[in-house]
Chain A
């Protein structure tokens, strides 16, 4: 018997979300069990089962911690680009019509 992790999604545009696990001898039986354990009240229209041993993770999940400032990976870090661009455009226009340097 193996442990199968169960994922379901409500509609075809929704992401699959983990909802629990079943113990079964093979994937076919895992689906049989999972259907009645996890979608018996119309919680989802689609179902996946994945043998737990097929799932991989970092042994040390502190690797996922962000150690340093990564603000440059967020759009909010570039908010002033709009005003800079406006300034640059104005300056370029002034240079073109001879009113700027």
Chain B
């Protein structure tokens, strides 16, 4: 199996697993019981997608999905930082849910054209569930954005932060050039990012929500989204010499302390009971 192919699948799988895990932390705590069930289902969907993607890789590398999902060292996970952030409040969780699923839709739409037929079929299946995630996220975002001032204020703050982090979903993948050349990734990450920025900005604009973002990439440089959807350096000197590698975070296995806690929880049973089945 091509390393570049594995890189495309693992980045996607790790995003879904880690975000699914965060979502699942709401189980029992969501604002009301019906939403608790709905959001828990979304968490299960995301983890289910991760499971399918890990299985795809596992079958070709003679390992198993659990080993990939739960048996890797932290630095081997390739999810974007957005996915590992703690849930904080419901506004933050919603903003992230919306950003992630909007970005995921852009990415999955492109991946339906991947050169690997099995991955293409899986992505098509995933998108059938992701449609509901998008509707759910949109419905909530619209309500909170038009609701009382406290919720709106919290949401706006959360959108600023999550929009910045969402850009990290489109950091170049490991072996990105090869993945594009071999057709596993039909659209390069920077083009996907441009599409995402345009789509998210237009949607937020329509809701009267702010679309300007200030993002700190790998704590090294400030970027601002331009109207074209491209990132432009906010601060010229700081941005100079920033290469794609230097700006890469999650996709290069560089995670924040938030992932330490998440990984400890998520892999606890697997680490303490080798060979356990569930």
Contact = CB atoms under 8 A, between A and B. Distances in A.
Q: Range of interface residues on chain A? A: under 10
Interface in A36-55: none
A69 interface: yes
A65 B132 CA distance: 11
Contacts of B128: 62, 65, 67
Main secondary structure of the interface of B (DSSP, over half): helix
A63 interface: yes
Interface in A51-101: 62-63, 65, 67-70, 72-73
B69 to A, nearest CB: 15
Given A68-B45, A68-B49, A72-B44, A63 B125 contact: no
Nearest to B276: A84
Interface string B118-145: 0000000110110110010000000000
Q: Range of interface residues on chain B? A: 10 to 19
Contacts of B49: 68
B125 to A, nearest CB: 5
A63 B132 contact: yes
A65 B128 CA distance: 9
Contacts of A67: 125-126, 128-129
Interface string B33-51: 0000000000011001100
B87 interface: no
A69 B129 CA distance: 11
Interface of A: 62-63, 65, 67-70, 72-73
21 contacts: A62-B128, A63-B131, A63-B132, A63-B135, A65-B128, A67-B125, A67-B126, A67-B128, A67-B129, A68-B45, A68-B48, A68-B49, A68-B52, A68-B125, A68-B126, A68-B129, A69-B48, A70-B44, A70-B48, A72-B44, A73-B44
Q: Which 5 A-B pairs have the closest CB atoms?
A: A67-B128, A67-B129, A68-B48, A67-B125, A63-B132
